[in-house]
Every structure is written in C-alpha cells, then in structure tokens.
Structure 1
Amino acid sequence: MGDTTPGTAAADLVVLGGTVLTLDRGGTRASALAASGGRITAIGDDRAIAGLAGPGTTVVDLAGRAVIPGFVESHNHPAFFGMTLAAPVDAGSPPNDSIGDVVERVRQAVREFGPGEWIRGFRYDDTLLADDRHPTRADLDPVSPRNPVLLTHVTGHFCVVNSAALRAVGIDARTPDPPGGVIARDERGEPTGLLIETAAFLVNSAMPAQGPDHLAEALLLADAEYLRHGVTSVHDTGIGLIGGAGELAAYRRLTRAGRLRTRVHGYLFHTLVPGLDEGEPEPPQAGEFPLTGVKIVADGSIQGRTGCLAEGYACDPGEHGMMLLEPGELARRIAALDAAGWQVAVHGNGDAAIDAIIDGYARLGAPAGTGRRHRIEHCQTVREDQLDRMAAHDVTASFFIKHVYYWGDRHRDVFLGPRRARRISPLASARSRGIHFGLHSDTPVTPVPPLEGIWCAVTRRTSGGELLGPEQAVDVDAALRGYTVDAAYLAGEENDKGSLEVGKLADLAVLSADPTAVDPDRIRSLTVDATVVGGRLAWQRADAPVTTEGAR
C-alpha cells in the first residue's frame, strides 16, 4: 500500500501509528496518511508516510488510535444551537424537574436585565416536566411583569411567552391563528402563552432584530462545540429560522474573515427571502458561502403531537397532527424551487406528511429529473411502501437517528404505540433499497456527538435501556458512512469530502479507538481526541494530546 500523488514534497501534516479508516468504496485501511495544501496527498504505511515529514510538518501520533473522515452533520441549526449555549435561561430537563424550576430560572434572569429587555430560554420539554404540561403566561407573569419572556421548546416547534411578550408582538384574543399554526387559548379565548408551529415562528420573527454581531458570536460558540466532537462539516437546514436575515449576514461576515472553521453548507428557510417560494431568486452560482438549498417544513413534531400521521396518535386516536402547508401548495413550492435550480429539503416526521412530500417530488419526474438530490428531513415514521417510492424517485433522506434513544420509550408507550415506534428511522429498510441517507442530531434538539448517533444506529437502544426495532439496526460501517461520505452525498459533495482518499479534503477526526473493533455498546463512550480541518489541527483534547505542536 502507498497511494501518493506524483512528486509529493514534504507534507504539511503527517498522521502515523494507528488505524486509518478511509471509508472509501473498498473499505481500505491503512496506518498513516499525509496532507498538503489542505488535501490528502498520500495514504499508506508508517514507513512510507514518515518519509514525507519535513521540518515544518505537523506530526500527529495516533499511538494506536483511529482516524476517520471528519463527521458531516447532515441536519443541524448552528445559530439556534449557539443561542442556546449563550441563553440566560436553560429551561431543559435536566436540570429542571418542574415548571416551578423553570420559573425560578426566569426569576433569576430578570434580576440581570433592565425593564423591557427580552429574556430568552431554550430546551424546555413538557413531557419531561413533573407537571406534564407546557408552561403558560400565568406561570411566567408573576416573576417577569416588565420583561418579555420567550421560552423555546426542545423541538423548536413550540414556544411559551408571557403577557409582556404577547403585548410586544401584538397577539391578543382577537388575533387569528396563522396558517399552519395555533395560538393556544383558555376557556375565555385568551392566549395562554403557548404558540404552536407557525405561531411560534411568528413570534420569533416579530422579536427585536438580532444583529449579525450577536448571531456571529452564536455561530462561533457552535463552531467550537462541533470541533470538540469531530464535526468538520454541517448542513444548516434552515438559515433564518431563528435569527432571520441576520443569520445569513453573520455567515457571510465570518466566512470573509476566515473565522468559521467548520464547513457549513446552507439551506435557506423558505420564508426568509421574498419570492423564494415562487422559485426566485435562483441559487448563487458562486460565492463565499455555499448556499444551494431551501428548507420547507411540511408538518410538526411527533412528541408535540403535531407530526402529521395517517393513523391517529396512540394516546389520542382522533388526533392526526397537522400539515403546515396543504399538499397541493407544498407540491407547487417544490416544483417552483426545483425549476429555479434549488435543491429542496422538506421536513417530514409523520407518514401522512411524507406521502405529501413524495407526491411533490414525484411530479418532477421519475427519478426526480434534475439530479439535485431532493431530501426528506427526519423521515421518522416512513413506511415500507413510501421507501419503495423514495427509491423509485431517487429521493434522499436525513434520518434523525437519535429519536430512538431520546424519545423511543415515549413513542412506544405514548405517541405511536409499539408497532409504529419500532420502525422509527428505519435504516435497514432504507439501506436495503439503496436509498442514500445521512444521519443527524438536529442540534440543539439533541446533543452533538456523532458517536452517540452511530451507537443509536447500531444498537437501537432507548434511554430506558430497551431495544426498539433491532431489525432496523445497521452495522458500524453503514452508520459511520451515514455521518461521513453518505451525508456528504446529500449535498453533492461526496467527491470532495466524507472519505479519506488522495485529492480529497484533509478533514479528519481522531478517535480514542477503532469503532469497528470495539463492542457496539462501547461506541458511545469513545472520545474524539483531535479534529483536523483542511490539514490543520483545529482542536485536540488537553488530556490526550495527539501532538505537542499547535495548528500552524
């Protein structure tokens, strides 16, 4: 072995002394690699590659560890994630056990803010609170009479606001429900403070604009967290969803300044730019920030009972969830965007919504004529017959695999029942049909670590320790590919990233051990010890350094 480019000079980076999982088509393994100019120049054995080191070479000593392609996160929300990291209120569970705990955190935050200043919190989950309900303005008002408060649900599909926030955005008893959303009301018709789906999006867009500086800091916080977990590329599937046009401005500013180290592939939220749903403007042909896709939300969340199901919810058989767009309108928007040259990524959790999405793609031709690799995001309850149609029309998927661990028990016992729950994220069925799919964490909905997602895909174990649909598990190689080269395929980037091959980007993650050589239950506990982007050491663990030299 010793794959090199002709006339290779002293390398910028040399990696030696471990296992190199290339994840190329043949599953090649090696012990060393070299990179120059940001790309891989050689893969081979230690002796051959060591000879490529020179005085200025950064040498990574694996010391028996493994190196894999940098993880490609195929569905994330970096600005949203960064905002949660910096938020004054952590409303999640843990650390909160009850609504009272969340309210106390709001009370503490109010002390630090001036009257009239907005206070934001994130990650509350009504199904994990002892009260088993959403907070309301009645809970928040006593501790925040003069500050608008906005608490965003862990799924992002709901939010709760206090009376000051309702006044600030102009919502009262006379305000009609927006299309695709609900303003929850009490028995007198007054808003309770709970806003559902597009009503939640409405309050986000009505908040005081968050400038590019604030959003840039949020993006940098997320960037640092991605690197800690070996993520070198992220698909931002919804630019503008939380921060409006300021998100795109922040990305462009950071890209020009060279401050973002992770590679971001952008999908605009479909309401961000006027005319976007009509297929205008066309995607930029070139530029400093990759922006070729548009994200549409077709339905809601299964755990919020707004995901649109063909069969009713197990806990409420008369409830089927909701479509945020009527199927005909969804199909019209898909066709307009496709005709204008955009790749389309449609959020679909419930199988009724997935039917509508596939119908929209099917109208483009079979397979979906342009080769733009249109996507279904989450694809949580997709049925076998729908997978057949996806394969026939060349529709790709990004599966939210961590649903199995974080919500699997509740899907089985509350929302879907055992039969449907065991089939959430049916990776084995998709793989058997040759459907290209990526895996994702949807951060900040669940934590970043891709190794946890790989463990979920391989073991199908829930947070309660039960197996959920083990027949839908895949092997470690397939799971790794779902977070690397197959995820890159979804954005048309598989020739540039996702596997370790000569000529491809030198984006690497150094793992504490080879995930294909350990017990599957141990995969989740492996660590990322270093991350390399473009041949430069971007991060390494302080307690397990891979080199004594810093990134040059």
Structure 2
Amino acid sequence: MRSQALSALLFILLLTSCRSVKPRPGQDTPGVQSGTIAFAGPPGSVQSMDANLTTYSYVAITDGVISGLGTGTPPANAIQLPEGAAIYPGLIDSHSHAISLFVPTINDSTGNPFWLNLASVNVMLQPLCPPPSCPPQQQNCTVQSNSCFSPMTTQDQVINVLKNAKPNALGWVLGWSYEPSRLSCNNASYGFLCPNNFENANSQTALAQMDAIRDDVPMMVTSESGHIVYVNTKGLEQLNLCLPGNGSAKCYAPIFSPQAEQCVAKQGQLNEDLAVYAVSYILGLMNTHMRTQEDPLPVFRQLITASTQKYSQLGFTTVQEGAASSDVIAIYLAVAKAAPLPVRMAFLNFIQQPLSGSTYQKQIAIAADLREGLAHSDMFLAGIKLFADGSNQGYTGAMTSPVQYTNVNKPFTDTACFPQQPYNGEADMDANSLSQAVQWSHEKGLPVFIHTNGNLAQAHSISALTGNSQAGIRDVIVHFTMPTQEQVQSVAKASSIGVTFLMNDFYYYYQPLCEQLLQPSGTANMYPAAWAASSGLHMGLHSDTPVTPPSPLFSMWVASSRSVQAPAWMPALLPECQQNRSNQLISRLQALKAYTSDAAWLYNRDAPSKGVTPIGSLQNQYAGDLVVFSADPLNPATDLSTVKVLYTVHNGKIVYSDPTGSNPLIWPN
C-alpha cells in the first residue's frame, strides 16, 4: 500500500510484530490448539500423501502437530467420518493474492460498494444473480450486486454500468476485473477483434474512451490480470504520477520500462507497477475513509478475514500473499495479532523499488530479518517476488520467436511508446536485472519467486536462476506458461527450482489465447504439467486469485481434464484449437500432490528443518493440518464438482465445519 497516511503506522507495526513473534520456550503459539483431536474412518480413508502414499484409518493431532496415525483402534472420542469421506493433508496454495479476493464486496460509509464488479469470471464463487429485466431502450443491462455474480459479456454492458454508476463515497467510479479478451461484440466476434474496448486504442486512446464515458468524476478500471489499469483524465490527475509536465516532488515514478510506461500512462493505460500503485492508492483511500480510532485498519481487516475464511472453507490451510509490500505484511501481522487467522500465511515480498542505488538491497536485508523473525509464527516470508514480465492477455508478457502476438493494437503499435516493432511484449526485468536480484536475495538466504508468462521472460528467468543457484535455497518460477520441453527438463535438472502452473487460466483464457493472441502454435502446450511430472519437477497448481477462482478441486479437475469454458456469449472453439486442448493432461494424484507434498516442497517445508514444523503430508510431528472431503477425490468415480469440504483443521483446530455437508457446493459457475 502506498497511502502515506498508513505507511508510518504500518512500518511501526511491522517492526514491533516481527520482534514479538518469536515464542518463548513453553509459550503457547496463537492459533495452535492444545489437547488432542482425532478423526477416524474405514481402512484407506486417511491419505497421507507421504512419499509412499501410505493410507490409514485414523489420524490424531496433539498440541497442533500430528501425534498418531494408524489402522487399529482409533483414539477415544475420535470424530467418525461419514460413509465415503476421505482425509487429506491441508491444501497448500502455491500462488495467489488473498487480500484482493473480495475487494468488490467492500461497502463505503453510505452502504454502497466502493467498486463495481466488471468480471466475466466468477472469481469470488458467488451464487448467480437472477436474470436482469432490461428496459426496452436498454439491451445490454446487467445486475449489479456485490452479493451475487452476473458476468459481463459485452463492452456495451461495461460502458452502461460505468456511465450510470453513482460515484462512491470517495467521489470515484471504480470498476474491478475488466477483461476485454472475453467480451463479445456480436454473435460471431469477440475479444480483440471488437473495435470498441479499452485495450484497442486504434481509434481513441483509453483516456479518450474513459473520458467519453465519464468526465465528471475520477474513474478507474482494473484488468482481470491485475497488470493493466485504465483511467480517465480526472483519475490520472488524482493519482499524481510522475509524467512529463508533472514535476511534483511527491509524484510516483514507474519502475519497469519507465519511458514506455510514462508514454502509455499519458494515454490512460497504466501498466505493471503503475497498475499496482494505482490499486494500492485506492485501497489506502478506502481504509482512510472507513477507519476509526478503535480500528485503524477496517478495510484491510475485512478483506483479510473474508478471504482467509473462504480459503479455509475450500480446504486450504496454507495461503499465499503473492506480491506483498512491507506495508501489506504489517497489516496481516496486525490483523492476526487481534484474532488468529484460520490459515497459515506465506508472503512473497515485492520490493517496489528500482534495482539501481542501495534501496533495493536494504529492503532485501529487511526482508531477511523479517523472515527470521517470523520463523516460529503462523506466517512466514517465503521469498522475494520478482516480475520478469506481465500478462499475455494484456499483451505485456515478453515474447520472442517463434511465438508472436497477433491482433496487436495501439498503444502497443505506437512507435513513440514502443520503438521496437513489431511489438512482442515487454520485459519488466531482463536477464541481467533478474540475475542481480537473484544474487542479492540468495546472499541473504532468501529464495526468489519469478513471475513469468512469455517465452522470452521464461528464458531470462531460467538463465538467472540456474546461473545463481545456491545450496539449500529453492526458487520458484511462477506461472511457467509456455516453456519448451527442453526448458522443463533443464529446470528439473537444476533440482533446486520448482514451478507453479496457473491451471485455471487454461480453462478461462485458452480460447482467446489460442484464437486471437498467440495462435494455436503458441498455445499447443500451455502450462505443460505433463512434461513437468514426467521430468520429476516439483510443481504447484494455483489460481492467481483474484484472476481466477481459488477452488483447488476445480483446478485439479482442469489439470486432469484440460477442460475449456464455453460461455454462451462466445463462439465455438476453433477446430485447430480443439485438437491441442488435451495436451499435457496429468492424473488426479499428480494434481493432488501439487496442492500438498509438492507445494510444501516449493516452500521448503516438506521435511523438518531448523525447528520449522513441516507441512504437506500427514506424518508424525508434521503440522496438524488436514481437510476432510465428503468423497475421495482420487476415486475415479468421484465427480469433483460434487465434493464438499466437511472439515478443515489447522494446527489441530477445527477452523471450518460442515459435518453433514449441508452447506451449498462451492464450484465456479
């Protein structure tokens, strides 16, 4: 967060919290349940997910760690599983941005939402809204509610919602999770073939398009990917960016590709770190508006509490905050200090500073101290987050031959902003910058997690990691969207590098990526989980929430079926894309490992080390984290879309309970 009203307070919170998280010998750790709790069922109902895939009939947890596993008589008072239920280790989220999940549900002081939900994907896993009743003169209306989901299907719907919106209590009109690649413009065309979306500036800049919708109040719209934000003139003025002609001493300067970012920012499109800054700025304003003397963090407390509860309902016991500034980490510590969270939090520290100068290295040193300070708490700093590039859907992933972007429009074809033509994406950090950041991080004992989508960015990331490997440090390539088979094998050979695959992205975005952005040749083996599995590569599956829904069973289903969404408003998938769709299938077991034992490996918490309780499998002295499913996901006859979470147990404490399975199913619509 970059709200100056918060920064001083949060820095103090960060320091004091870090000093206070080391427990004294014999001191109770917040969130750890004392005493013993046990679950029991028929033989084979407890799936350990250990190296031998051992099964049991009961599991016992004492004082927060597993104390017993067996097939004989269970402990007294063990909770008996209903018929068909199965126990697994608590699920581990290998990449998401938890604090952002429920942003559109936050109401202002008047009871109205700060943000309008413009998503075409049901990220928040809400019930569907009833069909809208359109007035005769309005053919593109939609239900606007922060308690149910109604997908945006056309650009006209988006425009109507923004045009008719009442400004929130901050005086802004704010739109959340807009995605032009999935919007139709007629029965046969969609996405970037439509002439009127904010990503197509051939006729008008995004600034002009936004001003045409609203010029009376500041307005901002975020992309679903999170890598691009669109603003009107009043919004651009309010954000106070360091642009030519703006000499304010307190303006915010772009870090990645500053000349290109400043150029497109003047046209109303904010890329990469400017997008992160803009969203953080608004969240800071929201919190300032809502805070009281009794609660200085009401908005952030609500976001963190709601998201971690939802993750717990889905069976997660470890959740990631995937690009956390020191301010965000301090907020989590403050919220958890008041009330322990139902999950363990893993932070990726994103240092929003240029590599030049000494500030970046100082921030790495602070991160190393924080990692040590959090070592025995229910939160941990997993590593440093680096961005090699942006989003393929937003044309900001860094590509190279033979993969080329197609249907590229202004501003990316504007030589004043992007002199290197034909345009094929932008690298946030090149190979040299990545290598330097990896080296500095490793010198402080910190792993790195590199965000990479384009094939050029992947090559840069692999080079930086293999050239700076260090014993005992495990690094992670996040997303790893389109590597070659040889690149996958080279990463596996390094043995100290893991990967994560944004499998849900395949379901929701394969069609526009295959048909419009990258063509079939560039998407034939997207998210190559099968190559990774056959190479012995440790991998995680993830949702990158709030980009896609944080549903682990859904991700497992996508990975084991390679299914693609067919929305009613989109045309049928082209045959040449259909034939590549089933490449890279993996088994349900491989997908489950990606949420348990393999995911624990990515965090270097798969075995006892330096007094840190391991996670990811059910073994004696491992963390007392488990999930009870209503049916066994590994049973081929089990329809994953019908499986419910009956219990989630974290550190020996039942944090979610639905023993009869009476709660509604949680499955993306």
Task: Please classify the TM superposition score into its range, dividing by the shorter chain length.
Answer: 0.7 to 0.9
2:59 to 33, 52, 59: 33
1:427 aligns with 2:529: yes
**Larger deviation: 334-343 or 35-44?**
35-44
Pair 1:504–1:178, CA change in 2 (3 A): closer
Whether the aligned pair in 2 keeps the contact of 1:283 and 1:292 (CA below 8 Å) is no
Residue 474 of structure 2: SS of its match in structure 1?
A: coil
Q: TM-score, normalised by structure 1?
A: 0.86
Query: What is residue 649 of structure 2 aligned with on the other side?
Result: 532
CA distance in 1, matches of 2:159, 2:581: 38
User: What is the letter of the counterpart of residue 359 of structure 2?
Assistant: G
Residue 441 of structure 2: SS of its match in structure 1?
A: helix
1:269 aligns with 2:323: no
Query: What is residue 134 of structure 1 aligned with on the other side?
Result: 198
Residue 418 of structure 1: SS of its match in structure 2?
A: helix
Pair 1:372–1:259, CA change in 2 (3 A): same
Whether the aligned pair in 1 keeps the contact of 2:313 and 2:656 (CA below 8 Å) is yes
Pair 1:314–1:333, CA change in 2 (3 A): closer
User: What is the letter of the counterpart of residue 512 of structure 2?
Assistant: R
The structural deviation recorded for 1:178 is: 5.8
- 1:467-517 CA-partner distances (Å, limit 9, x unpaired): 645341111111100011111111111121111122212212222211111
1:101 aligns with 2:157: yes
1:452 aligns with 2:516: no
Structure 1 unaligned segments of length 5 or more: list them.
1-8, 547-552
Query: What is residue 199 of structure 1 aligned with on the other side?
Result: 274
Residue 121 of structure 1: SS of its match in structure 2?
A: strand
Residue 166 of structure 1: SS of its match in structure 2?
A: helix
1:82 aligns with 2:82: no
Q: How does 1:151-550 map to 2 (within 5 A)?
A: 151-171=221-241, 174=245, 179-180=256-257, 182-183=260-261, 191-204=266-279, 206-207=281-282, 209=284, 211=287, 212-240=297-325, 245-271=326-352, 275-277=359-361, 279-281=364-366, 282-284=368-370, 285-287=372-374, 288=377, 289-311=379-401, 312-313=403-404, 315-316=406-407, 318-364=422-468, 368-393=469-494, 394-464=496-566, 466=578, 468-495=580-607, 496-519=614-637, 522-541=639-658, 544=661
Pair 1:272–1:499, CA change in 2 (3 A): farther
1:117 to 171, 176, 198: 171
The structural deviation recorded for 1:134 is: 2.0
Whether the aligned pair in 2 keeps the contact of 1:213 and 1:250 (CA below 8 Å) is no
Residue 74 of structure 1: SS of its match in structure 2?
A: coil
Q: Tell me which stretches of 4 or more aligned residues in structure 1 moved more than 6 Å.
A: none
Residue 457 of structure 1: SS of its match in structure 2?
A: helix
Whether the aligned pair in 1 keeps the contact of 2:182 and 2:512 (CA below 8 Å) is no
* Number of residue-to-residue matches in the alignment: 519
The structural deviation recorded for 1:154 is: 0.5
Whether the aligned pair in 2 keeps the contact of 1:10 and 1:53 (CA below 8 Å) is no
- 1:65-92 CA-partner distances (Å, limit 9, x unpaired): 1121111010010112232443531011
Structure 2 unaligned segments of length 5 or more: list them.
1-33, 107-113, 121-149, 186-193, 200-205, 247-252, 288-296, 409-421, 567-572, 608-613, 664-669
Pair 1:237–1:190, CA change in 2 (3 A): closer
Query: What is residue 144 of structure 2 aligned with on the other side?
Result: none
The structural deviation recorded for 1:371 is: 2.2
CA distance in 1, matches of 2:328, 2:334: 10
Whether the aligned pair in 1 keeps the contact of 2:273 and 2:352 (CA below 8 Å) is no
Q: CA RMSD in A?
A: 2.9
The structural deviation recorded for 1:529 is: 2.7
Pair 1:146–1:250, CA change in 2 (3 A): farther
Whether the aligned pair in 2 keeps the contact of 1:237 and 1:295 (CA below 8 Å) is yes
Residue 435 of structure 2: SS of its match in structure 1?
A: helix
CA distance in 1, matches of 2:394, 2:521: 19
Query: What is residue 550 of structure 1 aligned with on the other side?
Result: none
The structural deviation recorded for 1:33 is: 1.9
The structural deviation recorded for 1:31 is: 2.7
CA distance in 1, matches of 2:274, 2:328: 20
CA distance in 2, matches of 1:205, 1:545: 38
User: What is the letter of the counterpart of residue 254 of structure 1?
Assistant: V
Residue 290 of structure 1: SS of its match in structure 2?
A: strand
The structural deviation recorded for 1:280 is: 2.8
User: What is the letter of the counterpart of residue 382 of structure 1?
Assistant: P
CA distance in 1, matches of 2:90, 2:265: 50
Whether the aligned pair in 1 keeps the contact of 2:103 and 2:115 (CA below 8 Å) is no
Pair 1:85–1:493, CA change in 2 (3 A): farther
CA distance in 1, matches of 2:267, 2:544: 28
Pair 1:38–1:513, CA change in 2 (3 A): same
Pair 1:26–1:246, CA change in 2 (3 A): same
The structural deviation recorded for 1:140 is: 4.2
**Larger deviation: 66-75 or 400-409?**
400-409
User: What is the letter of the counterpart of residue 454 of structure 1?
Assistant: M
Query: What is residue 666 of structure 2 aligned with on the other side?
Result: none
CA distance in 2, matches of 1:468, 1:524: 24
Whether the aligned pair in 1 keeps the contact of 2:99 and 2:303 (CA below 8 Å) is yes
The structural deviation recorded for 1:528 is: 2.2
Query: What is residue 39 of structure 2 aligned with on the other side?
Result: 14
CA distance in 2, matches of 1:468, 1:213: 47
User: What is the letter of the counterpart of residue 199 of structure 1?
Assistant: L
- 1:372-416 CA-partner distances (Å, limit 9, x unpaired): 111111000111221232123232111112222111222221222
Pair 1:356–1:91, CA change in 2 (3 A): same
Q: How does 1:64-79 map to 2 (within 5 A)?
A: 64-79=84-99
Q: How does 1:34-53 map to 2 (within 5 A)?
A: 34-45=60-71, 48-49=73-74, 52-53=75-76
**Larger deviation: 451-460 or 204-213?**
204-213
Q: How does 1:142-157 map to 2 (within 5 A)?
A: 144-157=214-227
Q: TM-score, normalised by structure 2?
A: 0.72
Whether the aligned pair in 1 keeps the contact of 2:407 and 2:516 (CA below 8 Å) is no
CA distance in 1, matches of 2:304, 2:254: 32
Query: What is residue 110 of structure 2 aligned with on the other side?
Result: none
Whether the aligned pair in 2 keeps the contact of 1:15 and 1:60 (CA below 8 Å) is yes
